[in-house]
Structure 1
Amino acid sequence: MLSSGVLAITSYFVYNMIQRSIEKVNQIEATQLVREEQKIRSTLESIQDGYYEIDMTGKFLFYNHSLLELLGGKSESDLHDCQITDFMSAGDAKKLEQTYQWVAHSGTAVKCVEWEVIREDGISKRVEGSIVLILDGEETSATGFRGIIRDITDRIDSERMLEESRFRYKSLVDHNPDLVCSFELEGVVTAINPATEKITGYSANQLVGTTCAHLLSGIQRFIYLRPFLLAKKGRSSSFEISISHKRGYMVDLQIRFVPIIVDSQVVGVFAIGKDITEHKQAEETINHMAYHDALTDLPNRRLFTDHLTRGLEQAERGGHKLAVLFLDLNRFKYINDSLGHAFGDTLLQKIAERLLSCVGQHGTIARMGGDEFTILLPVLQQESFILLIVNNIIEAINRPIRIEGHECSVTTSIGISLFPNDGQDAQTLMMNADAAMYRAKESHRNQYEFFTPIMSAQASERLTVELELRKALERNELLLMYQPQLEFKTGRVTGVEALVRWLHPKRGMVSPADFIPLAEETGIIIPLGEWVLRTACLQNKAWQNSGFAPMRIAVNLSAYQFKQANIVQVVADILKETKLDPVYLELEITESVAMQNAEQVIVTLEGLKSLGIQVSIDDFGTGYSSLSYLRNFPIDRLKIDRSFINDITSVQGESTIAASIIAMAQSLKLEVIAEGVETEVQFEFLKSKGCTEMQGYFFSKPLLMEDMTGRLVSMRES
């Protein structure tokens, strides 16, 4: 048994050994703790997310560098004096404080709470953070909170952009007026937009999950298949197709198949389609209009030429003949001018119907324009068939036509050319048929003529005259002659009528009857008429400047001139240019022109009268004037047509008409001038009936300007 001293010494040594062991253990544990702490700190500094520890008041106790950067790069010393709520809005701070209180109360960690960090540099960051309660060493009471704060600004922006993109795509598809469908690679519909429902008539429930085969006919499925296969291979293409609407009618679509590519793989096909039904219909209408006459709906010149060209190819291959008929209507211009264009248009439509009934399926009928028609008989075995068709046409057109209570009759002249005898191409055959038609018109109306070579020369001559007439104005080949107009009571010259003549260098003096119709047909009448009006005004002004007594000069306006929309301005400009007092100009229009569209004629006449000029109705008695219209016309005189003057004393009816016209004019307080007075008997009769003025060979033929000036000189000296 150990003594107490030994025990004491032993206890001392043991105690020291234990103390040294405890110190050594403590040193080891302290070192390990430091290492662990450094390891933890190193780990926290290495992460990109912010790490924080705060006390129960929210004051920062510990944080990593990433948190400093997230909060705006503040220094560590600055952050020690801050609270976590200093970097957020009041609303977010209140929400976060409530969350901290809940964590402290429940002891349950919160994994994700969002708020907005507001930095001193003005930049805002959207973040999400976790909150974990920190307990003391005894784990009995809370000392603070720790957590991770992550910057989710880019993620939020990406999500927002993705959402916006999704809504944009949905808006683009849903509000697109065109059809949009998506297909699986097997051709099954996976989605459609509302426009698809409207265009097809089928709902999404009825189309999704199908191949749309019920919308396509057999041939349309083949049109559809190839572009779809191309799309499956990654190539887009477009095509036109017709589908059947749910209600049974067809819808024309222009479709583009576009491959749907995900991760470089085609996973489906988009179909984008535009409804082109109206466009196709409009295209067909335009195409029809391009090849058909708007008034009669017959083929026009263009389509007729196409048919004729194809017919010539077939005739040459088949070794048979072919005929071209060219016809126009006799007296149509007179009817059109007398009863108006609306009447004339209806007449042409009636004629077209009759031509169709005569020709039927044996050929093509076309309207060339105006009252000219052409007929193609493409397969001829016997020429007698032509005569059968021609005679049927002549008989059909001859029959009276009743339109709007009026009954009228027209006749036709027909020219015929044959392949291969009269031409090898469309242009030659049409030109030769035209020449034969003019020959028929000149020789005996209401008949037909087959083309002969001499007609070609005549047609060439007519073309030559047209070309020469166009140059006549430039070459100063036109001139005016003047026929005096006298007052019955005094014999005084009250005016002259200006009459145009063509002094051709080779043909000599050409009568208006030989070139005015050609001028009207070709449109040359417009510049020619202005030249006549200007020259007449200049000459009248020259006579006045030479000291002769002022008198009016009468100029005839053709129907084409009078219908010009700017005719009033044209006359006003010429009066201004020539400085002629308007009171000394008289414009003559024929009765047939006056009655074409009486209401419009009155407007034009009032415009002309407002210039201060005089107006007369020429060839009166040959048209269809009614007294009610004459009362409204702003005119100064009537001119009795020479046809009533020629037989005024030998034919009772003619003298009665002339006397009636004079009496009617007196009742309307209009002056009357008789043209074509050639005998003393005519002179005395007209004078006895109260006719105001006369014009004709009985007093003077039309005179050249020099001769008219001489006549004025002799009258002044007598």
Structure 2
Amino acid sequence: MIKLLALRIVAIYLLLACLFQIGYIDGVSNVMLSIAGILTTAGFLYFAIRRNLELFSRKEAVFWKREENKLRSTLESIQDGYYETNMEGNLVLFNHALVDILGLPEDELRERNITEFMSMEDARKLKQTNQWVSHTGTAVNCVGWEVIRWDGTRKSVEGSIVLIRESEGGRPTGYRGIIRDITERKDSERMLEESQYRYKSLFDHNPDLVCSIGFDGTFTTMNPSTEKITGYSANQLMGRTWSHLLGTGSKLRMLRYFVRAKRGISSSFEISVQHKHGYNVDLQIRLVPIIIDNQVVGVFAIGKDITEHKQAEETINHMAYHDALTDLPNRRLFIEQLTLGLVQAERGSYKLAVMFLDLDRFKYINDSLGHTFGDRLLQTIADRLHQCISTTGMIARMGGDEFTILLPVVIDENTVVQTAESIIEAINQPILIDGRECSVTTSIGISLYPDDGSDAQTLMMNADAAMYRSKEINRNTYEFFNPVMSVQASERLEVAQELHKALDRNEFVLVYQPQLHFESGQITGVEALVRWQHPRRGMVSPVEFIPLAEETGMIVPIGEWVLRTACRQNKAWQDAGYGPMRVAVNLSAYQFKQSNIVQKVDEILQETGLKPEYLELEITESISMQNADYVIETLDQLNRLGIQISIDDFGTGYSSLSYLRDFPIHRLKIDRSFVNDITASDGDAVIAASIIAMARSLNLEVIAEGVETEKQFEFLLSKGCNEMQGYFISKPLPAEAITDRLLINKITATGHTFMQNN
């Protein structure tokens, strides 16, 4: 009996040696090999002991029982699951680690088939593997499958399968093996695989340039975006250095940061690379060291294409410093350059000139011909200024029709004069826009450093004052600044500020100049004229404040006030019983161009109760000749209201008789410039007579203004002029004085008696 047991033990150890020979070489650790050996030996011993326990004596049984417990303890101490099955796969022996892996209590696990814990596919593969092991007698290791635990959770396992024989060379009785839980390892492998996939996806599909560079500066890897951004294929770039993509300046910049990256320091910077087709691509580059085992082994370059961003940035910057219409530098850039020029002029001990200019009557042209025409005109002026200024000078648009010129180096003041004269000559040349010819003039003011100021603000202010002085004197000329202009500019500014408050303070008053009918001698109308009754300056002439009102835009509300006040006064005279007559109100170009002018006039008539036929609106000849279609349409609407229309200052413009024939007007007013010398100048007499004759042929009435002498009166009467106004009849009078005249007019039969009483 002892001999038989010994033989069985020897057989067990021979099997153990065999297991070590075929052990877990492919994919199983040395630890697992050791465990496999121990468990296999333990299994054989346990099996031998269990099969032969009844053969021993009581003393021997105790001994072997103790050994069995040791082996059982050994099996339970390891973390991997040990199992033995019969040939059908039913579990006959297993340790507690297997219980944990399969997730079923030990008493319920015995005799269960191991395939119950697998998917159908894995069970099929296990059966095939068992058949192969049974047929060949060769052990199999590293068999992997997924355990489906009793609670439905899953674990990835890896195991070995060894055939159990009844004796050496005997029939197979079952299978034994080890199952290791490799769930964590599988999860790690899956996470690593997913991480690698994500990295590859990030690398391949990243819209930014991503490449790795060796210590020698050669490309080692690159993504498709690198090819797209540079225009070179990977084959063309691999093994080449980054330096051939860069210009000299960019190479030095890149080299500086590349050296830092090789030292382990990340850097971010902008650089320009040259595309394969020759144009530059702006990149925001970040160089990141590649560190493995605490050693820098290369450099990652990540580059974002910021070409469009840079272009947009440059566009925005250009817009911030340039005028959108003319593309000239704007006020901001001009002041910066002027300030810089002053520093250089001080260092170089030379002079500097600032020139201010604007276009005479530009607002009138802009309002008459439209803003599109005005914009084209300003662009043309900007081009002509460029032709007059050397490359060292600078032209800027301040806004509207105002331009400034900087001459940073003035050695001889005659060069400033020559420049101003060339500008005036260039601007005076006729301008043809969309088939329409236009002529403009300019007024220029000049200040010099250091004579007229030492800072940008002072020089600009003084040049502006000189420009206004040029405009006041004669226009179409230039003026150098002198200190007197500064006082005048200050006063002008003060007047402009007070003008804004004058309406609210009720400082405007109307005076009325009678209009006399030649044949009847009766007052047939009055012209309303505005005056400014300033609390400190006294009565201010329209010549002083009307141009300012036009420049500041106050002319529109002032004109509306004049129209309302005149209509209200005329209605008051009629209500007082005086004979009905016209009140003439002059419409400025700015009022006439208001889109709601017809509606506004109608509202005032409704408000004051004056009938339309007793209101006469005077427009200047120059207004009537600009944008004739608009003028005719507007005049037609006013005429349909029943309002009288007259052309003021007739003869001073360039009237087209064809237009004049189409205008719905009632009378022409001969300008006083012709009446003044009507008896002394044959030319003026002929013009006046021609206007009267032409008006009669067009069935229009004629009124002459500025009649101051009896000879003028007699001449106009002899030529058939219908009406007149002027100091020969009466100067402009306040409403109260006109009331007295109307009373006299009411009881006087002839104009001759009226003049004697005057």
Deviation of residue 553 (structure 1)?
8.8
The CA distance in 2 between the partners of 1:56 and 1:492, in whole Å, is 143
Matched residue type, 2:254? Y
Q: Which whole-Å CA distance do the structure 2 matches of 1:93 and 1:490 have between them?
A: 132
> Of 195, 203, 214, which residue of structure 1 is paired with 2:244?
214
**What's 2:217 paired with?**
187
CA contact (8 A) 2:692 2:702 kept: no
Deviation at 1:340, TM superposition (A): 3.7
Does 1:434 find its partner at 2:477? no
Q: Does 1:328 align with 2:358?
A: yes
Q: How does 1:597-616 map to 2 (within 5 A)?
A: none
User: What is the distance in 2 between the residues matched to 1:344 and 1:217?
Assistant: 46
- Work out the CA distance in 1 between the residues paired with 2:297 and 2:236: 23
Counterpart of 1:58 in structure 2 is 89
Moved more, 398-407 or 63-72: 398-407
Shift of 1:572: 7.6
Flag the 1:346–1:675 CA change in 2: closer, same or farther, 3 A.
Answer: farther
In 2: Cα distance, 1:628 partner to 1:239 partner: 69
Aligned to 1:372: 402
Deviation at 1:213, TM superposition (A): 1.0
Structure 1 residue 98: deviation in Å? 3.9
Partner residue, 2:72: 41
What letter is aligned with 2:440?
V
The yes-or-no answer on 1:643 pairing with 2:671 is: yes
**What corresponds to 1:233 in structure 2?**
263
The secondary structure found in structure 1 opposite 2:115 is helix
Corresponding residue number in structure 2 for 1:178: 208
Q: Is the deviation greater in 31-40 or in 41-50?
A: 31-40
Query: Which residue number corresponds to residue 43 of structure 2?
Result: none
Taking structure 2 as the reference length, the TM-score comes to 0.74
Asked whether 1:87 is paired with 2:135, we answer no
Q: 2:327 aligns with which of 269, 289, 297?
A: 297
2:455 matched to 1:425? Answer: yes
CA distance in 1, matches of 2:583, 2:181: 102
Structure 2 equivalent of residue 309 of structure 1: 339
Determine the structure 2 residue equivalent to 1:455.
Answer: 485
Question: For residues 646 and 262 of structure 1, what CA distance do their matches in structure 2 show?
Answer: 101
The residue type paired with residue 78 of structure 2 is I
C-alpha separation between the residues in 2 aligned to 1:582 and 1:163? 94
Amino acid at match of 2:197: F
* Residue type at the aligned position of 1:63: F
Deviation at 1:644, TM superposition (A): 9.2
Does the 8 A contact of 1:55 with 1:61 survive in 2? yes
Partner secondary structure for residue 144 of structure 1 = strand
Residue from 280, 283, 289 that aligns with 1:259:
289
- Structure-to-structure mapping, 1:454-603, within 5 angstroms: 454-479=484-509, 500-525=530-555, 528=558, 568=596, 575=603
| Paired amino acid for 1:417 | S
Alpha-carbon separation, structure 1, partners of 2:293 and 2:661: 88
CA shift for structure 1 position 254: 1.9
Tell whether the 8 Å contact from 2:358 to 2:401 is kept in structure 1 after alignment. yes
Partner amino acid for 1:54?
T
Contact in 2 for aligned 1:320/1:379 (Cα 8 Å): yes
Tell me the secondary structure at the aligned position of residue 202 of structure 1.
coil
Indicate the SS of the match to 1:423: coil
Equivalent in 172, 186, 197 of residue 167 of structure 1: 197
Name the counterpart of 1:398. 428
Work out whether residues 368 and 589 of structure 2, in 8 Å CA contact, stay in contact via their aligned partners in 1: no
Per-residue deviation, 1:26 = 6.8
Q: Which moved more, 1:456-465 or 1:335-344?
A: 335-344
**Counterpart residue type for residue 291 of structure 1:** Y
TM-score of the superposed pair, with normalisation by structure 1: 0.77
Query: Is the Cα–Cα contact under 8 Å of residues 338 and 624 in structure 1 kept in the other structure?
Result: no
Q: Would you say the 8 A contact 1:582–1:612 is kept in 2?
A: no
| 1:122–1:641 CA distance, 2 compared to 1 (3 A) | farther
1: CA distance, partners of 2:579 / 2:99: 115
Matched, 1:318 2:348: yes
Q: 1:214 Cα deviation (Å)?
A: 0.7
What is the CA–CA distance in structure 2 between the aligned matches of 1:55 and 1:500, rounded to whole Å?
126
Quote how far apart the aligned CAs of 1:168 are. 2.3
Alpha-carbon offset, residue 552 of structure 1:
10
Aligned AA (1:52): Y
Deviation at 1:332, TM superposition (A): 3.8
In the alignment, is the contact (CA less than 8 A) between 2:447 and 2:481 conserved in 1? Answer: yes
Which residue matches 2:384?
354
Structure 1 residues 93 and 366, CA, compared in 2 at 3 Å: closer, same or farther? same
Measured in 1, the distance between the counterparts of 2:329 and 2:134 equals 96
Cα pair distance change 1:663/1:263, threshold 3 Å = farther
Secondary structure in 2 matching 1:360: coil
For residue 123 of structure 1, what is the aligned residue in structure 2? 153
In 1, Cα distance between the equivalents of 2:601 and 2:130?
98
Superposed displacement of residue 460, structure 1: 1.1
Give 1:43's aligned amino acid.
T
Q: Which runs of 5+ in 2 are unaligned?
A: 1-52, 679-683, 708-712, 749-758
SS in 1 for 2:389: helix
Specify the alignment match of 1:8 in structure 2.
none
1:285 aligned onto 2:315: yes
2:280 matches 1:250: yes
Residues in 1 aligned to 2:373 and 2:349: alpha-carbon distance in whole angstroms: 44
User: What is the aligned residue count?
Assistant: 681
The match for 2:441 among 411, 432, 437 is: 411
Distance 2:474 2:169 in 1: 133
Q: Is the 8 A contact 1:645 1:658 kept in 2?
A: no
- Quick one: distance in 1 between partners of 2:166 and 2:597? 110
Alpha-carbon distance change, 672 to 253 in structure 1, aligned in 2, over 3 angstroms: farther
Aligned-partner Cα distance in 1 for 2:286–2:220: 17
Give the equivalent residue in structure 1 for 2:306: 276
Q: Partner of 2:184 in structure 1?
A: 154
Identity within the alignment, %: 61
Q: Distance in 2 between matches of 1:311 and 1:192?
A: 50
Alpha-carbon distance in 1 for matches of 2:601, 2:62:
119
Tell whether the 8 Å contact from 2:646 to 2:669 is kept in structure 1 after alignment.
no
Partners of 1:415 and 1:507 lie apart in 2 by 28
Question: Which deviates further from its counterpart, 343-352 or 461-470?
Answer: 343-352
* Aligned residue number for residue 10 of structure 1: none
Q: Deviations over 1:34-93 (max 9, x none)?
A: 455434433332222322222233322122222222223x22111125322333344443
Q: 1:127 to 1:659 in 2, by over 3 A?
A: farther
Deviations 1:393-421 (A, max 9, x none): 33333344444444443333332222222
Deviation (angstroms), 1:527:
5.5
CA offsets 1:623-663 (integer angstroms, 9 cap, x no match): 778969997xxx97577465399659965556656776787
Residues 410 and 234 of structure 1: is their aligned pair in 2 closer, same or farther, counting only changes over 3 Å? same
Provide the rounded CA distance (Å) in 2 between the counterparts of 1:110 and 1:675: 129
Which string of whole-angstrom CA distances, capped at 9 and with x for unpartnered residues, describes residues 219-245 of structure 1? 222211222222233332222222222
The DSSP-based 3-state class of the residue aligned with 1:361 is coil
**Relative to 1, partners in 2 of residues 1:326 and 1:50: Cα closer, same or farther, differing over 3 Å?**
same
Q: Is the alpha carbon distance of 1:134 and 1:462 closer, same or farther for their aligned partners in structure 2, counting shifts above 3 Å? A: same
- Asked whether the 8 Å contact 2:514–2:732 carries over to 1, the reply is yes
